[in-house]
A = this chain, B = another copy of it.
Amino acid sequence: MADSPAELRAAFRSGESGPTSGLAPGHAQANLLVVSTDWAYDVLLFAQRNRDACPVLDVTDAGSPGTPLAPGADLRTDLPRYRVWRDGRLADEPTDVTDVWRDDLVAFLVGCSFTFDTALTRAGLPWRYPGRNVSMYVTDQQCRAAGRVHGPLVVSMRPVPEASVDTAVRITTLMPASHGAPVHIGDPAELGIADVASPDFGERAMFEPGDVPMFWACGVTLQAAVMASRPEFAITHAPGHMFITDVHEQT
């Protein structure tokens, strides 16, 4: 598959689908959440109050499917797979949402930890989930609520060789738009995670001897909170099927 963000988006627009981990290395990937204008303030405020989990990269004007993060892209067609939610329940998982798009919809694009995987790999860290989705967990920590939007912090986890933990901290701390520094290193129980081998979203990661679990705040936090607050209608990306932007990872 072609490597440029524009080519990848064109392929998804024409119906191709699949997870985006490892694609378009060096470019920012983004979580998508679409709600009606009625919910937009609560969502934006929730993101602002929980910035580690929800670093906002862009918010569209109502009805507009375009974003300066990728000029020419169409947010209704250019993701590999979507989820459509009605009253907080999953209603459909299409590869195109043009038919359910409305003029009162606002799209939130939120940073994704897939973005820093490239930097970690370049720094020599082994990638413990090639061809898979990352492991994600609902923690026992509550986010700061905003109006109707509330929910727990969701984290992603990567097994990192003990000698590389400092490198991973140093690199990700400088990438706040992709969740920044880890929220926890070491004991999953500190976050209320009973079994690291049973993620709540995504797939089980492969641990090697000497690996330490490192946890980062995850954009699924926003999706989980909005679903918990049951708006009458919402669209998100399907887990792991992110929006690939033209923006470089450092931004």
The residues of A with any CB-CB pair to B shorter than 8 Å are: 40-41, 44-45, 48-49, 56, 58-59, 68, 144, 176
A49 and B59 contacting across the interface, CB-CB below 8 Å: yes
**How far, in angstroms, from A68 to B48 measured CA to CA in the complex?**
14
Chain A to chain B: the 8 pairs with minimum beta-carbon distance, closest first: A41-B41, A44-B44, A48-B56, A45-B59, A40-B41, A48-B59, A44-B45, A44-B48
**How far, in angstroms, from A49 to B59 measured CA to CA in the complex?**
8
Contacts of A48 in B (CB 8 A): 44, 48, 56, 59
Q: Tell me the smallest distance from the CB of A41 to a CB of chain B, in Å.
A: 4
Instruction: Across the interface, name the chain B residue whose C-beta is closest to A147.
Output: B61
Q: Tell me the smallest distance from the CB of A122 to a CB of chain B, in Å.
A: 22
Q: How many chain copies?
A: 2
Contacts of A58 in B (CB 8 A): 49
**How far, in angstroms, from A77 to B15 measured CA to CA in the complex?**
58
Instruction: Across the interface, name the chain B residue whose C-beta is closest to A58.
Output: B49
| Complex partner residue of A41 from B44, B49, B68, CB under 8 angstroms | B44
Q: Tell me the smallest distance from the CB of A249 to a CB of chain B, in Å.
A: 17
Contacts of A49 in B (CB 8 A): 58-59
**How far, in angstroms, from A45 to B176 measured CA to CA in the complex?**
19
Q: Tell me the smallest distance from the CB of A225 to a CB of chain B, in Å.
A: 16
**How far, in angstroms, from A44 to B176 measured CA to CA in the complex?**
19
**How far, in angstroms, from A40 to B58 measured CA to CA in the complex?**
17
**How far, in angstroms, from A40 to B40 measured CA to CA in the complex?**
11
| Complex partner residue of A176 from B40, B68, B144, B176, CB under 8 angstroms | B176
Instruction: Across the interface, name the chain B residue whose C-beta is closest to A44.
Output: B44
Q: Tell me the smallest distance from the CB of A117 to a CB of chain B, in Å.
A: 23
Instruction: Across the interface, name the chain B residue whose C-beta is closest to A37.
Output: B41
Instruction: Across the interface, name the chain B residue whose C-beta is closest to A174.
Output: B174
Contacts of A40 in B (CB 8 A): 41
6 pairs across A/B with beta carbons < 8 Å? A41-B41, A44-B45, A45-B59, A48-B56, A48-B59, A49-B58
Q: Tell me the smallest distance from the CB of A13 to a CB of chain B, in Å.
A: 26
Instruction: Given contacts A44-B44, A44-B48, list 12 more A-B pairs with CB under 8 A.
Output: A40-B41, A41-B41, A41-B44, A44-B45, A45-B59, A48-B48, A48-B56, A48-B59, A49-B58, A49-B59, A68-B144, A176-B176
